Structure 1
């Protein structure tokens, strides 16, 4: 039984090697030279030949597809030395750290940001009114507080989605545009609420209410982030 398995393994190795030989003829001279050097480098390290032929088979197929678009094997896989090191030893800690970060779903980023922004503004507003000593001096009303949660979540979502991150192509203009644009829109809506919604509807919130609401929101943000393991939020 063991002998049959050995024979099957040998056949598979021969198949990959034979396929690779056929594919060599479809490669450009530069790409063929790349794979010749890569195979030589790997076999020199006493790597199992079957594994080498199998790995090269996958790479060569992709290279043949991409070379028609002008991609060289070096452009796809880096230098021969870099690719050989990656195959032999895996990605370095530096490479792992530079891997693109996969963000949490938009709704999670939205809730995380809304709780943060709404909570912070509720606390700051309550403290400001408390220290002013004048009841009702705070501009934060009930509608304004709700708007801070709802619109603040959208602002933080826009910033989170466009923020520069390691391991990916970053568009700083898009980031600055999204940040400034969303904050400006938020300020405009807040100003319109204060101008056109009367205090009878936009009821001023006293510190005894706004501060606990803010603390509860920040605590909920902390719980929500841990519960759903939110990745990509600002804080």
Structure 2
């Protein structure tokens, strides 16, 4: 091949390479433009989403920026300055004494009352009194509610009922023995006394499980069930006492004088009072 022919062939190859490179460059350029366009759309969408999120949190922050627990700013702003200060003063007393959720419920009710009072130009002090008095009252009511909500274990309720009801029956038995004529007294031996206290506790425990709920809907308050269970519990108690008195021989179930029964009754009643305070026994019965 001559030198001239070689130059022509080299020139043709270079032209073909340049053409391929140009085509490839055009394809890459088109892809880049598409990517830029796509990225631009996504950037705009992300920016719009970010603005919406920021606006949402700004609104939530504004609504929750009230200094009073559970009261949003919009509602708080409806109160007069004096009423706002009144709630703020109360919260200073309660913030370390009551959890946030409990204070929220208290303040929601108070704000509703204060807003209604503002319509007739009533101030917080006219409605409730001083902030310190209100705070003390709220704390006392909360403590009382907590105590009433707590129910003691079954064994405590049975023990308390045993000592209470058992001591009452023992006292009445001793009294009847002291006032009865010779040969007419009903005697209760030492084992019968034990049976008396045991079944008295069982009866009280049974009754405590079916205490009626007066706040329940009509027909679901449980008065009939309470009535039936109470009769059954008392019946079991009296049958147990009578059976032990009749069936247990006097050799293992000796009787005491009426004075001894009254002393036993007084001692167990005092013990019941002491244990109720000592153990903080909570019951819906008494």
| TM-score, L = length of structure 2 | 0.49
Unaligned stretches of 5+ in structure 1? 1-10, 19-40, 48-82
Q: Structure 2 vs 1, CA of residues 133 and 181 (structure 1 numbering), >3 Å: closer, same or farther? A: same
The aligned residue for residue 29 of structure 1 is none
Q: Distance in 2 between matches of 1:191 and 1:16?
A: 75
Residue 14 of structure 1, aligned match among 57, 61, 65: 57
Which one of the candidate residues 215, 226, 233 is aligned to 1:182? 233
Q: CA deviation at 1:183?
A: 1.0
1:89 equivalent in alignment to 2:137: no
CA distance in 1, matches of 2:149, 2:112: 16
**Structure 1 residue 157 displacement after superposition:** 1.3
Count of matched residue positions in the alignment of Structure 1 and Structure 2: 168
> Among 130, 152, 157, which residue is 1:104 paired with?
152
1:221 maps onto 2:269 in alignment: no
CA distance in 2, matches of 1:88, 1:231: 29
Instruction: Give the structure 2 partner of residue 113 of structure 1.
Output: 161
2:176 pairs with 1:128: yes
Deviations 1:119-159 (A, max 9, x none): 11111111111111427832311121111110100111112
Change (3 A) 1:224 1:167: farther
Does the 8 Å CA contact 1:122/1:145 hold for their aligned counterparts?
Answer: yes
Give per-residue Cα distances to partners, 1:59-111, cap 9 Å, x unaligned: xxxxxxxxxxxxxxxxxxxxxxxx99863638998x97889732111111111
Question: What's the CA shift for 1:176?
Answer: 1.7
Higher relative contact order (CA 8 A, sep 6+): 1
Q: Secondary structure at the match of 1:46?
A: helix
Aligned equivalents of 1:194, 1:113: Cα separation in 2:
22
Q: Which runs of 5+ in 2 are unaligned?
A: 1-53, 62-70, 78-103, 114-137
Shift in CA distance, 90/149, structure 1 to aligned 2, threshold 3 Å: farther
Instruction: Give the TM-score normalised by the residue count of structure 1.
Output: 0.58
1:34 is matched with none
Task: Tell me the CA shift for residue 228 of structure 1.
Answer: 1.5
Q: Distance in 2 between matches of 1:91 and 1:167?
A: 24
Give the distance between the partners of 1:218 and 1:127, measured in 2 at CA. Answer: 15
Quick check: 1:136–1:204 contact (8 Å CA) kept in 2? Answer: no
CA shift in 2, pair 1:170/1:102, >3 Å: farther
The CA deviation at 1:177 is 2.4
Aligned to 1:45: 75
Q: Over aligned residues, Cα RMSD in angstroms?
A: 3.9
CA distance in 2, matches of 1:110, 1:209: 24
Aligned partner of 2:194 among 134, 137, 146: 146
Alpha-carbon distance between aligned partners in 1 of 2:284 and 2:256, rounded to the nearest angstrom: 28
**Matched residue, 1:192:** 243
Is 1:157 the equivalent of 2:205?
A: yes
- Counterparts of 1:84 and 1:130, CA distance in 2: 58
Distance in 2, matches of 1:108 and 1:205, equals: 29
Q: Where does structure 1 differ by over 6 angstroms across 4 or more consecutive aligned residues?
A: 83-86, 90-93, 95-100
Cα distance between partner residues in 2 of 1:90 and 1:116 = 45
